[in-house]
Each structure stands twice: as C-alpha cells, then as structure tokens.
Amino acid sequence: MQQLLLVLFIMLGFVMLFSPLRQTSQWELIEQRGVLKYGTRISLLSYFRVTDDVVGYEHQLLKAFCEQNNLQLEPVVFENNGAMLAALESGEIDLAGGHLSRTKSRAMSYQFSAPISETAINLVTHFDFRHETSLDAFEPARGELIGNSSYAELLDELADFSPKNLVLTNRFSLFELIKKINSKDLDYTFADAEIVDIYQYFVPGIYQTIQLSPKEDVVFMTHLYRSEELLLHLNQFIQQARKDGLLNNFRNDLMKHIPDIDVADTVTFFDKLQSVWPDIKDLVLEVAEEEGFDPALLAAISYQESHWDPDAVSISGVKGLMMLTATTAEELNIEDRTDPRQSLIGGIRYFRNMQNKIPQRIEEPDKSLFALAAYNIGYGHLEDARILAQSAGKDPDVWLDVEPFLKQLNNTAMAPMLRFGNADGRTAVIYVNNIMTYQQLMAWKLQKDRTAAHWNKPIM
C-alpha cells in the first residue's frame, strides 16, 4: 500500500510539473518574449528622455540587468500611479518603478525588490512658510497631494494633522505641484526628499521644512503572485550592483544633467512657458520634425536667444527668434532672418555647422555642449579654450574640463596665449548651462504633454 501511495505521489508531481494547467511564472513569461516591461513615470531619477539618451538611474539599472540576461527593456510611461499599478495588476507590465517607496498598504497587494535607494517624505512649501516647523501652521493653508501615492498613505497616519484645504490629485505630477508652490498658487505638498533635492536645481524658492517620515526604501514593485523567480534574479543583480559601485555610478551620472543656472532665469522661463510658448509651440515642433532636430533643444536655444520673441533685436544688430547676424543668415541661405520659420531653420543649420567642426571622436553630451559654446562664442575661441585645457593636463574632449578655461578667455593677460584673442567665455559658459536647463525643462514638458495625450485619448 505504501509503495502504491509513493507511485501515485510521484505521478501527481509529474502531472503538476508538466501539466498545461500549471501557471507559468512571470520570469518564464519574460524569458519567452525576450522583453522586460517596466512601468514608470517621467522623472530625472527614474526615466527622462534627453535627445536620444535616457536619464534616470532606475532605467540605467534595469537596462544593465536586461543586457546581462539577454533581454530587451521596454519602458512604459504612465501619467499617474493609479494607471501604472492597474497595469501591473493586469499583467501589462512586469515591474513598476518611478521612485516608489515600500509602504504597509502596498505590501498587501505587491511584492518589492531589494532597495535601490532610500528617501524620506518631507513637507515642501514656499518662501512665506519657510520658517514653519509645525504641521499646525499648515492646517488652514492650501495643500495638494498626489493620489495613489505614499504621500496619500502617510496623510492617513498623521492623526494630529487636520488640514482644512487639502486635495488629492491625479491631474498633476510632483514637478507641476512644486511649480505651483514656486508661484504661490499652492502653499504645500508632500514629496520625496531625494526627488526635491533634484528639482531644487530647476525650481527656485521651494523649501523642505518638515520631515514627515523616517527614511523608507525605494524599490521596484511586482505582482503579488508568480514573481518570486523574477525577484530572485533582479535582487541578486541589485545587490551585486550596489557592491560593485555600479548603482552609485548610475546615480552620479545624473549630475551631468544638472547645470548651474541663475534663479531669476528659471523664474522668467516658467513665466514665458505659460504666456509665450503656446503661441510659438506649433511652429517650433513643426520645424524640428521637418529638420530631424530635437524639439526640446530647438525650444531651449530659441528661448535663450530671444525668449521666443520673433521680433527680438539686439544692440549688436542680431535679429529674430534665433538672433542671427546678417552675415550668418546670408551664409546659411536664409533670405529673411526676421521670419520665424526661416530663423529657426537658420539656427539649426548654424548649430549643425558647429557640430560638424567638433572632432568626431568626441561623444555626446560633450559634442553638443561644445557646439553650443561655439554657437555663442565662435569655434575659434572654443578651440583656444580646449588648447588651454590640454596644456593644463586636462582632457580637451570633456566639457567639464574645458569649461573653466572658457572663462579664462576674458582675462586680457591671457591674450598672448590665444590664437583668436580674448572673448567673453564667461557668457558662453552661462549660455550653455542655461540651455542645458531649458532643454531638460522642455523635454519634461513635451514628454508630459505626450503622456497626457496618450492616456486621455478617446477609446475607440
């Protein structure tokens, strides 16, 4: 009898193992399709497209993981957390990211990866409330929190906080809420400290006055069931990436996209983005598509040149959206530099002329940064700065190494060492840093518009 039971048990095991009714694990499905589907939201920390590159240590980490496992990474961008988590539950995506924190509520419905970072939730406010360190002061103030978020969960735990004018929203991203705080259209929100630390480079006048939570792990989230094997592979990779310093390298890469810019310039930019950009937007996007040019970069250069004013004229005689000289316009075959379309086309041609002069061995983003500097100061002066950098033992092919030597072009004592003479290198550095910032902000704006249009399109 015991032998019969043993045989039946073995047979049952084979049936369960090889039965078509056996549920396939998430990892097996991923391997079969050869693609890992990663849900995220637009953020410099997770996923942010800059020209042909993607910024965000989450994306970089998953891309390296996929390369190691012979998989393709397929990012799926969502407008809000609710839509993303619904897609995770339905199986549309394999992983959810976008700087998600481990919370008690989420633990009931999802599994978590090993931590990739950690962050606390802070209260973020504007200048008028910058000295307030008690939540009581914010009870009558205007607050807005992102729905389906760790911030909304935390609100339920703040038993002594009784806000009178607080709403939850899925209409706005955290970046948009922070912009509203900057303009004082909103008094406060809750936000991850790690995210706000980055956004403060782009949005001035915001203050993190109260830490509302202890530090929590930032993780990827998977389906509650059949995800054990996926997490086993992913967690091993994350732990090794942390040990090898790869994760830190990915985080440090982000700083390449954080330029130095004057606070007043950013304030003016946000004002023009609301008041002027809608009038010029269609033309900029149309010309960028026709010319095969990055629309965010074209928007950024045209803003830096003219603040999107087609009738702009400087005391030196440059005119139009891209502020072309008469000589440059003629060399570029631009008949009317005051015509907005022709001016944009001329600016693209001039930028590409500068790019073509940059040695081919120089890679992005340095190549474009050098081209922008040459656009402003002239290629000859850029070469002088690169020669100075090389003479000082620095790498003449790296923007951050050359940048300090551009500033030396202003020094009249350096004239004997300069083939092309003195020039306003300090302004060229400011010019490049400003455009880097405006390009990031425009890329965010355009990606947000596309994502919103996708999720708000009518169902056929």
| Mean pLDDT calculated for residue range 102-106 | 90
Residues 99 and 162 both lie in one domain: no
pLDDT of 12 higher than 60: no
Catalytic residue among 118, 305, 331, 364: 305
pLDDT of 315 higher than 70: no
pLDDT of 456 higher than 80: no
Residues 430 and 328 both lie in one domain: yes
Tell me the per-residue pLDDT of 118-134, one tens digit each, with 9 for 90 and over: 999 999 999 899 999 99
**Residue 246: alpha-carbon gap to chain centroid:** 20
Report DSSP state, residue 34. T
Order of all β-strands in the sheet with 121-125: 166-169, 143-146, 188-192, 121-125, 207-211
Q: Does this model's pTM top 0.85?
A: no
Which helix (H) or strand (E) segment holds residue 180: the answer is: helix 174-182
In a domain, 17, yes or no: no
In a domain, 383, yes or no: yes
Distance CA 370, CA 381 (A): 11
Question: In this structure, what token pair is assigned to residue 236?
Answer: 């091993």
- Expressed as residue numbers, the domain containing 231 is 22-117+218-257
> What per-residue confidence (pLDDT) applies to 276?
93
In a domain, 6, yes or no: no
> What per-residue confidence (pLDDT) applies to 264?
55
Phi-psi category of residue 71: left, alpha or beta, with phi > 0 → left and psi -120 to 50 → alpha: beta
What is the DSSP pairing of strand 143-146 with strand 48-50? unpaired
Residues 311 and 412 both lie in one domain: yes
Tell me the per-residue pLDDT of 53-72, one tens digit each, with 9 for 90 and over: 788 999 999 999 999 999 99
In a domain, 456, yes or no: no
pLDDT band of 10, cuts 50, 70, 90: low
φ/ψ of residue 419, rounded to 5: -65, -35
pLDDT of 3 higher than 50: yes
Please identify which residue in the block is written with the tokens 């970072």. 117
Count of positions (residues) in the chain: 460
246 by Cβ neighbours in 10 Å (0-12 / 13-18 / 19+) ranks as middle
pLDDT band of 261, cuts 50, 70, 90: low
Distance CA 68, CA 236 (A): 12
Residues 439 and 343 both lie in one domain: yes
Report DSSP state, residue 196. H
Query: What are the CA-CA distances from residue 169 to residues 42, 71, 239 (Å)?
Result: 17, 36, 35
**Residue 283: alpha-carbon gap to chain centroid:** 24
Q: What percent of the chain has pLDDT over 70?
A: 90
292 by Cβ neighbours in 10 Å (0-12 / 13-18 / 19+) ranks as exposed
Question: What is Dmax (Cα atoms) for the chain?
Answer: 103
Residues 428 and 356 both lie in one domain: yes
Tell me the per-residue pLDDT of 376-428, one tens digit each, with 9 for 90 and over: 999 999 999 999 999 999 999 999 999 999 999 988 888 888 888 888 888 89
Our answer to whether residue 305 is catalytic in this structure is: yes
Tell me the per-residue pLDDT of 334-373, one tens digit each, with 9 for 90 and over: 999 999 999 999 999 999 999 999 999 999 989 999 999 9
Residues 277 and 408 both lie in one domain: yes
**Residue 218: alpha-carbon gap to chain centroid:** 17
In a domain, 5, yes or no: no
Residues 426 and 300 both lie in one domain: yes
The CATH number linked to 169 is 3.40.190.10
Tell me the per-residue pLDDT of 138-180, one tens digit each, with 9 for 90 and over: 999 999 999 888 999 999 899 899 999 999 998 888 888 988 8
* Whether the Cβ atoms of residue 455 and residue 83 lie closer than 8 Å to each other: yes
pLDDT band of 201, cuts 50, 70, 90: confident
pLDDT band of 2, cuts 50, 70, 90: low
Distance CA 146, CA 419 (A): 56
Distance CA 112, CA 202 (A): 31
Show Cβ contacts of residue 368 under 8 Å, excluding neighbours closer than 6 positions.
Answer: 51, 297, 355
Q: How many domains does the chain have?
A: 3
The CATH number linked to 323 is 1.10.530.10
Decide which of 241, 257, 273 is a domain's last residue.
Answer: 257
Residues 152 and 235 both lie in one domain: no
pLDDT of 211 higher than 60: yes
Residues 95 and 186 both lie in one domain: no
Please identify which residue in the block is written with the tokens 């729905």. 147
Distance CA 113, CA 349 (A): 47
> What per-residue confidence (pLDDT) applies to 15?
46
* Whether the Cβ atoms of residue 70 and residue 81 lie closer than 8 Å to each other: no
In a domain, 76, yes or no: yes
In a domain, 396, yes or no: yes
Decide which of 213, 246, 277 is a domain's last residue.
Answer: 213
In a domain, 3, yes or no: no
Residues 284 and 351 both lie in one domain: yes
Residues 268 and 250 both lie in one domain: no
| Mean pLDDT calculated for residue range 261-273 | 75
Residues 193 and 82 both lie in one domain: no
